[in-house]
Amino acid sequence: MGAVPVLSEFTPGLKSPLEKQTESALGKTTPVSMESIDLDQGKAIPEAQSLHLPVRSPTIACSMAVRTSTLRIETRGNTDVRDLTSELQALVEESRLRQGSLLLFVSGSTAGVTTVEYEPGLVRDLEEAFERLAPRDRPYHHHERWGDDNGHSHVRASVLGPSLSVPFSEGRLLLGPWQQIVLIDFDTRGRTREVVVQLQGE
């Protein structure tokens, strides 16, 4: 069986003109030597060959800032829909960031966030849609596990999701004219919900 080349660290000696030209063009190099291992004898056979692999550490200019806040929202539960748009827009303006993205996350497993046209008719439509999706009066295995009464609340929240990302520019959330950001609490009782708001931008 022939010899198989392997790489190992090595102290370089003289550099060829091509190596010097490559190092000058690409920056600092990491010297590496080429050896061969004879698979029949199990011995390393040094060769008079070396590689100089260019290594550069890129410098990335970043002016991004991150601001994190928490909103505490009182809810009534039972698919209570709360409009958070004005509070979130105020946080963007207070941050003095001109452009970036807003990340919204509700802590807890029986609430979610989304965007809707916030008006009474659509709020009622949402309530009825979630009732068809996960009816509150059917049996849930979650009730058997913990003796709770909010299995439907967990299912609805899982479908909706706990987070939302919205871009902003010139200090304004880039929402449509009939689009609001809402929190929906599906639990069977009123809660104080903590909504984490993280702004990232410049």
The candidate with the shortest Cα–Cα distance to 156, out of 138, 132, 176, is 132
- The two beta strands, 192-201 and 163-169, are unpaired
The angle formed by the CA atoms of residues 136, 142 and 148, to the nearest 5 degrees, is 70
Q: What dotted CATH number matches 65-201? A: 2.60.120.460
Q: Which residues pair with 6 in a beta bridge?
A: 35
Min mean pLDDT across 19-28, 152-161, 169-178 is at: 19-28
- Which segment of 114-118, 141-145, 168-172 scores lowest on mean pLDDT? 141-145
Beta strand ranges found along 10-159 (DSSP E): 29-38, 43-54, 65-74, 80-83, 99-106, 111-116
Q: List, in sequence order, the alpha helices (H) in 63-190.
A: 85-95, 120-133, 141-146, 151-160
Domain ranges of the chain: 3-54, 65-201
Q: What are 154-175's pLDDT values in tens digits?
A: 999 999 999 999 999 999 999 9
Mean pLDDT estimate for the chain: 82
Residues facing residue 31 across a β-bridge: 52
- Model-level pTM? 0.70
